[in-house]
Structure 1
Amino acid sequence: MKITAIKAREVLDSRGNPTVEAEIQLADGSTARGISPSGASTGEKEAVELRDGDKSRYQGKGVEIAVSGLNKEVNGAISGREFDSQEAFDKQLIELDGTANKSRLGANAMLAASIAYARVSSVSKKIPLYRQLVQRDKYLMPVPCMNVINGGRHADNNVDFQEFMIAPHNAPSFKESIRMGEEVFHTLKSLLSGKGYSTGVGDEGGFAPNLKSNEEAVEVIMEAITKAGYKPGEDISICLDPATSEMWKDGKYSLFKSTKQNYTSDQLIDLWEEWINKYPIVLLEDGLGENDWEGWKRMTDRLGSKAELVGDDIFCTNPEIIQRGIDAGIGNSVLIKLNQIGTIWETLQAVELAQKNNYHCFISHRSGETEDTTIADLVVATNAGHIKTGSGCRSERISKFNQLLRIEEELGANSVFAGKSTFKGFL
């Protein structure tokens, strides 16, 4: 596993913004690449992306400094060296960076290198990436939680809440589950068109219409599930990510796109409880903001037995913060995003900590995605049971679904579809 070189370059993400690609070559001739994604609604405690700030290039979003750091400093430190594990390689990156939030080399540069190392290791050993990440006898294929209506920061419409997802869980396989989801997605398009709504899509491939209310998004999804021939709650359930940290202002939550109404934490909890009782909602991500720890505790006490309460911005895939949440009884699930923490090894540490404490793990893409399919292998490797990687269109989203189809076919009898067990107790 001797590294002969690492080479980085500036490439583009799904929004046409620059990001970092790293390529590692081994002495045995193996090569592989990794690309870092980028988020729009980001947590305050996320590892830091390194951007150039040069307004004459890409409106300041260039990543040439991050690329240069890999090509010069990191390449000089790791070329000619052997690493015996992902942990050893990633710890070397962390040591070179030397900051608490990866701000010197940049989490975007470090993650690209970390992914490239995981991938080149699997190439050299001639094993799939998911086996390189975690060795198991049997693997769990995930339920695809598909973001069919976009709002919030991910769409130029009047819907406040960021993601309305469908979870096709009553299926014998991932292959059949994704078929169910796509059928509802295309049925939803016809329904929206018939109602005179736009069927243009947002950052993650979901439709982005101007609706009469936020709740209408749930209602039209329910209608699409039924019209596609499935039973809401029995075959396909609903997941929400309102991204409430984006609404937090002066101690209240402002529905800045629609009613301009302000909610207290308890009023927003009341709303979620009303919706969960009324609709087959099995998962609520970021139901309150990242700094609203007291509100999160009250929400967990009230709704923790009714739905999977996923912490994204509040946890930031950071083991130290996740442990604080576990100790405080905050939520019952952790969203896992590679670039929030910046390396594969630290991500696996976060998953292990959560699962050891009976928290669910929800593997996630970012809104600024790429063709890199690492999270598809990650969700299988960790037996997380569910993944969100966008809607039923856009190739940077579909590439993850296609990789999962390949993995399921390859595993055959050595895989089980997570299905309803993912939301056990909430259906």
Structure 2
Amino acid sequence: MEPGGRRWQQQQQQRRLQGPRQEAAEYYRGHRVPQRMEEALNTLFPLRPADLYGELANYICKFSKAPVICKLVGRKVLDGVGQPTLEVEIYCTVKNYEKRICSTVMSSHSQIPENASPDTTEADEKERNDSVNTAVEWVNESLNTMLRDLEPTDQCKVDEMLGEYFTKKVEEKKEVQKQEEEAEATLALTSCTPSATELTGKKKAAKPGKKVAVAERTIPPAEPVESVLCGSLAIGGTSLAVAKAGASVSRIPLYLHIALLKHDQDSPEEMTLPLPMVTLLSCEKMSPAKLKLVKEVMLIPPVQLSLKQGIERVLDIQKEMMRLLEPPGKVPSPQLADSKKGRAHNTGKKAPLQALKRISHLGCLITGCDNLEQPLLLMQTACNNIGLELGTDVYLAINCAAHELMDYVKGKYEILSGTFKSPDEMVDMYVELINKFPFIIALIDPLRKEDRQQWSNICRALGSKCYLIAEDAATYISKLKIDQNINIPMCSGVVLKYINQTKVSDLIELTGLLDGQRHITILGSPDGESSDDSLVDLAVGLGARFIKLGGLSRGERVTKYNRLLAIEEELAKNRTLREGNLEFIAFTEESQPEKQLSDVLPPSKQDSLPPQLSQPALQVPSLPAQLPENSTLT
């Protein structure tokens, strides 16, 4: 066959037209091409019909419409603790066919009380059911009609419409409440009885106010709890479902889709994985033990390890913790280990922890403690028994949840049963704690958000040594942002939770604002978590410094750790994984550069601590090799 001949040209043309999209070819095979056009095409390009129709399909697909939303489906499902929540499904029109793209399941907004009364539990369940039922109705009716024919990749437009819809519902709720108040006022005027004033509940509410009058002069009163609009789950669930659909039709991972939205479609060259805060121990606040201050004790792997290596290290510590928490008689009671030699020493003081042999809804072990040192010494013992050292091989973080401990009659925090401390005394206690146990690199909610002066004091005292994180103050994203400022106390960063009416655009805007003000962002799981793993993609795409997912138990939490491991593997394969870092902020009157973690953590070899804790507030003493017998932080 001579190059340039007719047959040779036909074969070259066939090679160029090989590999048509089979799906498009099958679709266009059933459409009749006009006979004259077909004869002309056969004369010019003597090809098989399948090749011809496939090439036509390829050409026509260039002018086809982008996928658009055609249907939303909302339904009631169960979350990880068996409570009702919302699932949102997205259907799109793709090449004239209706196709299910994705779904998302929202996490419940309410925290799970440890000792709730039956009446409170029943009221909470009724409120939750009503909210989910309303959310399902919103999705299947109003939102389904409102978002039809919108492109799922247009997240800003979708979130703008969702925000307008939610604002309209809030105004409707206010109007209904106003009418109810007017009706009650009219009824009170017409009844003309002494008890009429009690109909509004104002007289009854005044009695406890008299009791706490003295306390209110010394501490700021608690801010009113932000009411959750019934059905608000529909807003957050729909926004996240649309984001997942946009990533799916763009054929990219959700984390990359979120990163493109945050950076105005500029693809980042490298991405950093958030460090996991793995909850290992929960000191149940309502247990028979005395300690109330600690809600969670968390482990943070060092940045030098890969995520996979860090998770394996945490699992090793968890196994040793379970061994130490065996009932008395099976194993010796845990004693403080020598951090230098990794051996256990008997201090002559037997105070074994109360092993309750239960797994918390947070996916971690539960135990009761009588003082603040017990869980820390238990963690130190478990690490030393397997040859690890706290402060070098792994770090600790404590979720204090101090807002749950305030006694408003006394105006003090009840950190132990019968032991109370004022906000100023709490600051001194934390300074002493971090000086004594410098392997603690994060305190979450050490104070109420209302104690802003004490937040400032503790940040100036400890900001260069550990992170001071606000979680309760960051629960409701709608209250965090005022103009271009963050409405939170002075702190190192905040824990953001994707709940209720939160939209993807809200998270993108807020994390950008936090980045600009040198705050760290932590994406956190609510107490009532679901099996949806989108939170991990949000954390990676938004560039969060940490992610707080709970423990390494319970499927709804483990599935998120598995997703994080999969993203690490994918980024490493694509050579776009960048190693993270830990930097503390020195809160002083003059701005100072952030310090590296290696500059503020203690050396690996440490000396013993004298019996009396009398060090200055800003001095960092070495980690004790053995705790004095009579030394307790109360």
More moved, 405-414 vs 298-307: 298-307
Q: Return the offset for 1:300.
A: 1.8
Residues 61-80 of structure 1: CA distance to partner in whole angstroms, max 9, x if unpaired? 31212211111111121123
Q: Return the offset for 1:301.
A: 2.1
**Structure 1 residues 83-94: aligned runs within 5 Å:** 84-94=153-163
| 8 Å Cα contact 1:297/1:329 also seen in 2 | yes
Residue 143 of structure 2 corresponds to residue 74 of structure 1: yes
Q: Which amino acid aligns with 1:142?
A: P
1: CA distance, partners of 2:506 / 2:152: 16
Residue 407 of structure 2 corresponds to residue 249 of structure 1: yes
Question: In structure 2, which of residues 382, 392, 396 is the aligned counterpart of residue 238 of structure 1?
Answer: 396
Partner of residue 464, structure 2:
305
1: CA distance, partners of 2:245 / 2:532: 14
Partner of residue 166, structure 2:
97
Q: Return the offset for 1:406.
A: 0.7
Residue 279 of structure 2 corresponds to residue 147 of structure 1: yes
Q: Which amino acid aligns with 2:231?
A: G
Question: In structure 2, which of residues 541, 553, 560 is the aligned counterpart of residue 381 of structure 1?
Answer: 541
Partner of residue 398, structure 1:
558
Unaligned runs of 5+ in 2: 1-66, 113-119, 172-225, 261-267, 334-353, 585-594, 602-634
Q: Return the offset for 1:104.
A: 4.5
Q: Which amino acid aligns with 2:310?
A: S
Residues 177-235 of structure 1: CA distance to partner in whole angstroms, max 9, x if unpaired? 11111111121111111446233111201111122323311211121122232110011
1: CA distance, partners of 2:425 / 2:288: 24
| 8 Å Cα contact 2:406/2:414 also seen in 1 | no
Q: Which amino acid aligns with 1:191?
A: L
Residues 383-416 of structure 1: CA distance to partner in whole angstroms, max 9, x if unpaired? 2232110112111111111001111111112113
Secondary structure, aligned partner of 2:368? coil
1: CA distance, partners of 2:164 / 2:299: 41
Change beyond 3 A, Cα 1:408–1:227: same
| 8 Å Cα contact 2:166/2:232 also seen in 1 | no
Q: Which amino acid aligns with 2:140?
A: N
Q: Which amino acid aligns with 1:37?
A: S
2: CA distance, partners of 1:298 / 1:97: 39
Partner of residue 27, structure 1:
93
Change beyond 3 A, Cα 1:217–1:325: farther
Change beyond 3 A, Cα 1:57–1:221: closer
Q: Return the offset for 1:56.
A: 10
TM-score of the two chains, using structure 1 as the length reference? 0.89
- More relative contact order in 1 or in 2 (CA 8 Å, sep 6+)? 1
TM-score of the two chains, using structure 2 as the length reference? 0.61
Q: Which amino acid aligns with 2:375?
A: A
Q: Return the offset for 1:254.
A: 3.4
More moved, 361-370 vs 298-307: 298-307
More moved, 360-369 vs 155-164: 155-164
Question: In structure 1, which of residues 245, 260, 268 is the aligned counterpart of residue 426 of structure 2?
Answer: 268
Secondary structure, aligned partner of 2:558? helix
Change beyond 3 A, Cα 1:231–1:56: closer
**Structure 1 residues 279-294: aligned runs within 5 Å:** 279=437, 280-294=439-453
| 8 Å Cα contact 1:157/1:208 also seen in 2 | no
Secondary structure, aligned partner of 2:370? coil
Partner of residue 325, structure 2:
192
Q: Return the offset for 1:157.
A: 6.1
More moved, 97-106 vs 311-320: 97-106
Residue 249 of structure 2 corresponds to residue 124 of structure 1: yes
Q: Which amino acid aligns with 1:124?
A: V
Q: Return the offset for 1:294.
A: 2.2
Secondary structure, aligned partner of 1:400? helix
| 8 Å Cα contact 2:301/2:393 also seen in 1 | yes
Residue 308 of structure 2 corresponds to residue 175 of structure 1: yes
Identity %: 23
| 8 Å Cα contact 1:317/1:350 also seen in 2 | no
Residue 186 of structure 2 corresponds to residue 61 of structure 1: no
Name which one, 1 or 2, has greater alpha-carbon Rg: 2
Q: Which amino acid aligns with 1:415?
A: L
Unaligned runs of 5+ in 1: 43-52
Q: Which amino acid aligns with 2:273?
A: M
Q: Return the offset for 1:375.
A: 1.4
2: CA distance, partners of 1:79 / 1:95: 16
Provide the aligned length of Structure 1 versus Structure 2.
415
Residues 351-399 of structure 1: CA distance to partner in whole angstroms, max 9, x if unpaired? 1111111111111111110111111112211222321101121111111
Change beyond 3 A, Cα 1:319–1:61: closer
2: CA distance, partners of 1:73 / 1:129: 26
